[in-house]
Amino acid sequence: MSSLHRCLPWLILLLVLRGGGGGGPAVAAAGKVPAIIVFGDSSVDTGNNNFIPTIARSNFWPYGLDFADGHPTGRFSNGRLATDFISEAFGLPASIPAYLDTTLTIDDLAAGVSFASASTGLDNATAGILSVITMAEQLDYFKEYKLRLKLAKGDARGEEIIREALYIWSIGTNDFIENYYNLPERRMQYTAAEYEAYLLGLAESSIRAVHALGGRKMDFTGLTPMGCLPAERMGNRGDPGQCNEEYNAVARSFNAKLQQAVVPKLNKELPGLHLVYADTYDVLDAVVRKPSDYGTCIVRVAWPCMHNRSTLACMAELARSLSA
């Protein structure tokens, strides 16, 4: 396993535990986290898209190459996700189940659950592109989950789990990459800055909704350097193969507003809320800029591979390089 894969989940966890900026107190100060509850996109989808009619799935090889028995689970990864490692670090199950997995009972979901859906975004229009689960639907599933939990565990225990759980959001990249910069509708309605504001309003609404249902300990993860994603580097017409710095600038702007405006505002306004901002931008940007410092050549491998190999062969090579 590469240094990046060993360290990234723990860096995220450290950000969550220490407050991650934005004026929020330490989420796990009381040391009581009975469950990890997750909202978001492919970065934290543990298999929900397997159970809906969409092409946005990862239930085929080489996904899951390094996961337990080597079989795909619906995670867009060769192994576990950062949220799985965070769950394990809290002494909870080593992998977080998908809410829509029909083989699971509410008891299987009581210590952690993901409502996330690959290819979704804060904007409902983003989810509509590949017919995946909207944020509003994820919140509806959470309401249903709370009711099921209270029926199974009793009102008092159910409310305690909801109150003490750690809530993690990882979402927003698709709104820009798959929607705003890929389709004309939102660009005709909003400038990039206006669209950022629109998305931040949606993020705030989702946090308020979870707080109204009893959630108190929350982490909202910022955007990564989305201009450095392999597809964006390949499609960078101005400088082929290099990061799209316009996209990265938007990510930094979005993150700054999330950290400096939304997080402090909600911590002040919502009683008992402990909301933190987790910055993954700088960590991943450093990996992209100087990969050798992190024991991986992923950036150098990805570019020639994606140009000269079939998609599946390329993915397998990348997965193995990450596990080396």
The values of phi and psi at residue 40, to 5°, are 155, -150
Model-wide pTM > 0.75: yes
Asked if residue 323 is part of any domain, the answer here is no
Distance CA 192, CA 177 (A): 12
The tally of domains found in the chain comes to 1
Asked if residue 269 is part of any domain, the answer here is yes
The neighbouring-strand residues paired with 278 are 221
Secondary structure (3-state) at 278: strand
Whether pLDDT at 6 is above 70 = no
Asked if residue 298 is part of any domain, the answer here is no
Asked if residue 301 is part of any domain, the answer here is no
Helical segments of the chain, H only: 3-18, 82-89, 106-109, 124-129, 135-153, 155-164, 173-174, 184-189, 192-212, 230-234, 245-257, 263-269, 281-289, 298-308, 311-323
Distance CA 276, CA 259 (A): 8
> What range does the domain containing 222 cover?
3-293
The per-residue pLDDT for 67 is 87
pLDDT category of residue 137 using cuts at 50, 70 and 90: very high
The per-residue pLDDT for 1 is 38
Asked if residue 55 is part of any domain, the answer here is yes
Distance CA 114, CA 141 (A): 10
Query: What is the layout of strands, in order, in the sheet containing 217-221?
Result: 112-114, 36-40, 166-170, 217-221, 274-278
Residue with tokens 């450290």: 14
The values of phi and psi at residue 216, to 5°, are -130, -30
CATH number at residue 208: 3.40.50
Which tokens hold the place of 322? 């990450």
Secondary structure (3-state) at 74: coil
- Tens-place pLDDT, residues 21-66: 444 444 443 358 999 999 999 999 999 999 999 999 999 988 999 8
Asked if residue 240 is part of any domain, the answer here is yes
Asked if residue 27 is part of any domain, the answer here is yes
| Contact present, 261 and 255 (Cβ < 8 Å) | no
Asked if residue 321 is part of any domain, the answer here is no
Which tokens hold the place of 21? 């900026």
- Tens-place pLDDT, residues 102-136: 999 999 999 999 999 999 999 999 999 999 999 99
| Vertex 312 angle, CA 284 and 8, to 5° | 20
